[in-house]
Amino acid sequence: MTITAPTSPAAEQAVFGAVAASADRSWITTTDHRRIGQLHFGFVLGALAVAGALGFVVHGTVGGWFDQGERGRTTLLALLSGHEMAFTGLIALPIWMAAATMFVPGLIGAGRLAFPRLQSLVLWTWVVSAAVMASAFLVEDSPVGFIPTSAQPLTAQGPANRATELAIGSLMLAMIAMSLGAANIIATVVTERRAGLRFGSIRPFAWGSFVASVIVVISAPVALGGLFVTYIDQHWGATLLSEPGALRMWAHAVWAWGRPDAFVLPIVAVAAFAEVIVSRSGKPLINPAVANGLLGLAGALTFTTWTGMEYKLSAISAPATRPWTALVFLPLALVTLMALAGGRGIKPSPSLLAIGAPLVMAVGGLLIAYAATTDVTDAGIFQMGSANALVLGGGIIAMAALVAELGGHVYKRSLPTLLVGLALLLLIVGGLAHAVGPALAATTDDTSAAENLHLLAALGKAALAGGAAVMLLAILSSNGRPTSATAAHEEAH
Amino acid sequence: MAVATAPAPVAADDTRRDGSAMIVAVACAVVIGTMFMAAVAGNYISVRSRAGGAVWWQGTAKMKFNNYGAVTGFLSAAFASVAMEYAVVSTRAGIKKWSSAAHGLAVLTMLAAINLAWSIGRTLGFGVNDTSYATAVYTVIAAAVIVMAVSLVGIITSWTRVLSGQASDTNWLPVRCGAWMAHLGMAAWATAWATIFLYK
């Protein structure tokens, strides 16, 4: 069998632009998956900028809030709640869904999603979710301490009030949207892929998205069920979440690090990194079937998070409580090595900053391993929470790099090299500072040094928000009329 | 072994669109509904098993578990499932009238099952916040009602396809999808019935 070379510009333009001519030009009613994906990206990058700004305020002023006593602490926790909820509900998985919406149909030779209007519904559900989440912080008594990344059940975090119910409702909407979007990706890969394209031969990002979708379809409804229980418990002032045994339900269903879908972003991040290398080099991975098998194995291993019976409230990182869950990263590391082996001798490009994804995830993994060998105290809410976020942050970097690599086919002309490179650098440097600052701050007794390290984290969050803004700018600046070259390609096809 | 990894250029109409995407999507919907019910039922079982199984009766002296109502609700939902299977057979045989009648029966019986579940939830004899066990009971019943309502939407959607002539003996997959949704609704109430009423 011969190797099909990945792609001349004209060939890829034909695949990615197969439905361009007939697509509805309206942004609202369009069925063109590329436009829907662009809207997804615009929404997610906007949410990332807002969440980054909230994180900047939290870390940059952490000492000041505590100086104001209980009121300051309450305000700090409300800001932290907004930051965490925006990240877990509106950024972490939606940024992958944006990339999958935009690129998966083209990568499997389909040129369309199985249900394009369903994907639009997913986007607008997220928009409503964001509005409900914002309203939770505008009503009286904002949700104090509803932090999905905290192992503390909700009743142990803050009081029941209308704002908390709104916050729970917004996350439920986000989970429903994620489930629907994942089902759409599964249906697209299973039924719309090019005739004769076997699962073992599907390109890395399309296959990684399929694996991630299967995980989401199985695990997100469990999170939805947990949030449903939480809502009823809060709304009727019940005591279910106050029971000692409630911790297991909370950890398996609501707590971000006790759920399989918490590991989705690292999987698609590695897949996106491999995709960038494949696209850049024009060669497939060493053994595509083995690489796809490893991604599938990583997906299967994520379900080991459900095998944990007891959870330590003080330990926030999943592998710290169940070491075998860390095995998820073994097949991902192998796929990364396979991609690196295929990347020798390729021409430099801003999209190659995708290497920042596995790099950042590796640093986060080391911090988590450190947590596993030490007794994490309550300060860990900043410490290891940031380390886990770093593992997820690799996903954001990878998705941005994927847009830089393949986005030229979607946005009709290549993204500006300078802006893309700047955005990726900001994301990588910001991601590292975001995690390393709090981790070091938790190890020092010097208050002044700790505040400076938190300031470093704040700057990291600002860099992440800035990176998102620059990436959005790069996308907007490329979404104009096609260049003469791409226009010629479209005309030819 | 060398394997092709990149899609060759294809025209837009070269992809398979035989309606199988809808079957895959409905299969995903069934998985989503099942896992949602599994989450709340698992929470219920966890609560019940706490404190050596003694938690479930605390503060619920007036509780009335209407097992007859629960059984009737299950039978109603099961009848809806059977009626939808009949609708599939009728559609494949090209008999639109029978298919439409079967859909109507399925809608009525699923509505009856939802009504029963609602009624049972209002006559349990204890409040949502009386005990953690009470909260878990209401959660399971409410979740089952939600899933059955979603399945009812699926059945009605299938019915509109039949009535509008979009489902026929050559294109019966939409009705098959509606039947799967009916089975999901039945399974949801079966879960609630089994966890709350059979093993209390």
Residues B37/B38/B43/B49 CA torsion (nearest 10 deg): 130
Instruction: Determine the pLDDT at residue A454.
Output: 77
Nearest CA in chain B to A172: B36
Minimum CA–CA partner of A19 in chain B: B12
Contacts of A203 in chain B (CB under 8 A): 5-7
The larger pLDDT score, comparing residue A313 to residue A122, is at A122
Compare CB distances from A192 to B9, B16, B138 and report the shortest one's residue.
Answer: B16
The SS3 assignment for A243 reads coil
| Cα gap A62→A360, rounded to integer Å | 25
A1–chain B Cβ distance below 8 A for any pair: yes
Q: How far is A2 from chain B (nearest CA, A)?
A: 6
| Average pLDDT over chain A, rounded to an integer | 80
CA distance, residue B188 to nearest chain A CA (Å): 13
How large is the average pLDDT for residues A433-453? 75
Mean pLDDT, range A32-58, rounded to an integer: 85
pLDDT value of position A35: 86
pLDDT at B107: 97
> How far is the C-alpha of B25 from the C-alpha of B158, rounded, in Å?
14
pTM, two decimal places: 0.88
Of A6, A114, A179, the CB nearest to B5: A6
Of the candidates A276, A421, A420, A422, the one whose C-alpha atom is nearest the C-alpha of residue A346 is A276
Banded model confidence at residue A185, pLDDT cuts 50, 70, 90 = very high
Please count the residues of chain B.
200
Could you read off the pLDDT of B131-172 as tens digits, one per residue? 888 888 999 999 999 999 999 999 999 999 999 988 888 888
Decide if B139 touches A, using CB distance below 8 A. Answer: yes
Whole-number average pLDDT of chain B: 85
In which residue are the tokens 């009916």 written? B182
> Predicted confidence band at B61 (pLDDT cuts at 50, 70, 90)?
low
**Contact across the interface for A15 and B31, Cβ inside 8 Å:** no
Please report, to the nearest 10 degrees, the dihedral formed by the alpha carbons of residues B179, B182, B183, B187 taken in order. 170
Q: At A195, is the secondary structure helix, strand, or coil?
A: coil
- Is the CB of B56 inside 8 Å of chain A's CB atoms? no
**pLDDT per position as a tens digit, A186-231:** 999 999 888 888 888 899 999 999 999 999 999 999 999 999 999 9
Q: What is the mean pLDDT of residues A266-281?
A: 92
The pLDDT of residue A409 is 73
Per-residue confidence (pLDDT) for residue A193, from 0 to 100: 87
Give the CA angle between residues A64, A132, A209 to the nearest 5°. Answer: 95
- Please answer whether residues A296 and A211 qualify as being in contact, where contact means their C-beta atoms are separated by less than 8 angstroms: yes
Interchain contact B165–A (C-beta under 8 A): no
Residue of A5, A115, A233 lying closest to B6 (CB–CB): A5
pLDDT greater at residue B47 or residue A290: A290
Q: How far is B15 from chain A (nearest CA, A)?
A: 6
Structure tokens at A317: 């990182």
Nearest CB to A226; choose among B14, B39, B136: B39
Task: Read off the tokens for A409.
Answer: 């086919």
Any B CB within 8 A of A19 CB: yes
Chain A residues with CB-CB distance to B138 below 8 A: 232
Phi, psi of A233 (to 5 degrees): -60, -45
pLDDT of residue A312: 58
Is A19's pLDDT higher than 70? no
Q: Does A14 touch chain B if contact means CB atoms closer than 8 Å?
A: yes
Give rounded-to-5 percent helix, strand, coil for chain B: 75, 0, 25
Residue A195 has a pLDDT of: 83
- In terms of residues, how long is chain A? 493
What token pair was written down for A108? 């499997």
With beta carbons less than 8 A apart as the criterion, state whether A272 and A398 touch: yes
Which of B22, B23, B26, B28 is most worth mutating to test chain A (most A CB atoms within 10 A of its CB)? B28
Residue from A360, A184, A210, A192 nearest A273 by CA: A360
Amino acid A438: pLDDT: 72
Q: Does B6 touch chain A (CB under 8 A)?
A: yes
B37 CB neighbours in chain A (<8 A) are: 225
Identify the closest residue of chain B to A216 by CA–CA distance.
B32
Cβ contact, residue pair B7, A228, below 8 Å: no
CB-based contact (8 Å) between B150 and chain A?
Answer: no
Residue showing tokens 């609700």: B73
Six token digits for residue A469: 């803004």
Q: What is the pLDDT of residue B46?
A: 85
Q: Looking at CA atoms only, how far is residue A435 from chain B in angstroms?
A: 33
Tell me the chain B residues in contact with residue A118 when contact means C-beta distances shorter than 8 Å.
Answer: 25
CA torsion through residues B58, B59, B63, B65, sign: negative
- In the block, residue with structure tokens 């759920």: A259
Dihedral sign (CA B189, A169, A164, A76):
positive
Question: With contact defined as beta carbons under 8 Å apart, do A76 and A58 qualify?
Answer: yes
Residues 67-126 of chain B whose Cβ lies under 8 A from any Cβ of chain A: none
CB contact under 8 A, A187 and B24: yes
Q: What is the mean pLDDT of residues A423-432?
A: 87
Whether residues B128 and A236 touch (CB distance < 8 A) is answered with yes
Is some CB atom of chain A closer than 8 A to the CB atom of B191?
Answer: no
Counting residues of chain A whose pLDDT is more than 90, the rounded percentage is 26
- Evaluate if residue A2 carries a pLDDT over 50: no
In this predicted structure, which of A80-84, A177-181, A435-439 has the lowest mean pLDDT?
A: A435-439
User: What does the pLDDT read at residue B132?
Assistant: 83
Q: Chain B window 28-47: which residues touch A at a Cβ cutoff of 8 Å?
A: 28-29, 31-40, 42-43, 46-47
